[in-house]
Amino acid sequence: TQAKGASYNYDSNGDDWTSGVCSTGTKQSPINIVLSSASVDTSLGEFVLTNYDDDSKYGKIKNNGHTIQVDMADDTVTLNGGGLDGGPFILAQFHFHWGTSDSTGSEHTVDGNRSPLEIHFVHYKQSLGDLGTAAGTADGLAVLGFFFEVYPSDNANLDPFLDAISSVANKDQNATLSSPPVIDAIFQNVNTSLFVRYSGGLTTPGCNEVVQWTVFTEKIRISSTQLAKIRLSYQDTSGTTAIGKNYRSTQSINSRTVKISYD
Ligand code: SG4
Ligand code: ZN
């Protein structure tokens, strides 16, 4: 069983929040992805991404005290293919996970290595009607995860978005996105044919085991200076305490198989 709506705090050690808040199931997320143990599946196929590049589809950017999130303005940005079960899926929002320094931050790790930043695009199965219903249904959600990597120079494509983040530094602040979001920077830099797939859950309470996870192996470049701007995001309305870290510790793989789309 899964408790819902409990408050949580990433600043503590261990499993990040009060015991009992999350499911204690066997398909929790995130995980450490061991590439050499992944099972090659060249039949997963290409993703079909519709309307991701339409800036008018992106709604407000907000600080919810746990992360920076952008909600979609409507339900017309969709994801299909890529070996996902039961598509199409509708993009609901995207958000970020980071840490207190460049050597930490992502939720998933690859061969034990943690990236400084991970972005999650949360989609729900169209046939289930809405995010809430899908979050209570097996395989109801599809989340796409992308890693960032530190690069010596700025990724200028990210600047408008980073400016928007700075305008929602405190909890409950929100703003209208006046410029293209990170989408261009991502899809110009990452080959979406190269990914891993596993069955897992939400990484925050109640950690529902309803997610078809996709994690891309190519990374998006970001400078250390740019990363520092994201860390100026606060968990309170007065801007006193930084969010700090907002990634969950990696969970046991148990008997799950991780598929990889390429040799
Ligand atoms: C973040 O806390 C988001 O703000 C949540 O979105 C999201 O929950 C949660 O992460 C878990 O998502 O891709 N990391 S994750 O597994 O999307 C949902 C909210 O709107 C249900 C609360
Ligand atoms: Zn997330």
pLDDT in tens, 82-94: 999 999 999 999 9
With a 6 A CB cut-off, is 182 part of the ligand 1 pocket? no
Asked whether residue 12 carries a pLDDT value surpassing 60, the answer given is: no
Kindly tell me if the per-residue pLDDT of 208 is higher than 90: yes
**Cα of 98 from ligand 2 centre, angstroms:** 10
Phi/psi for 189 (5° steps) reads: -105, -20
ipTM over 0.85: yes
CA dist 261 and 83 (Å) reads 9
Say if ligand 1 is within 6 A of residue 143 CB.
yes
Hey, what are 132's tokens? 């809430």
Pick the ligand that lies closest to the CA of residue 130.
Answer: 1
More confident residue, 22 or 95: 95
Q: CA 55 to CA 57: how far, in whole Å? A: 5
- pLDDT band, residue 2 (cuts 50/70/90): very low
**Separation of CA 97 and ligand 2 centre (Å):** 6
Residue that is written with structure tokens 């090659």 in the block: 40
201 pLDDT more than 90:
yes
225-254: average pLDDT: 95
- pTM to 2 decimal places: 0.95
* Helix H or strand E encompassing 4: none
Burial environment of residue 146 by CB neighbours within 10 A (0 to 12, 13 to 18, 19 or more)? buried
Q: Over the chain, what is the mean pLDDT?
A: 91
The continuous run of DSSP H or E covering 105 comes out as none
pLDDT at 38 over 80: yes
CA-to-CA dists, residue 254 to 25, 35, 112, 196, angstroms: 10, 16, 17, 17
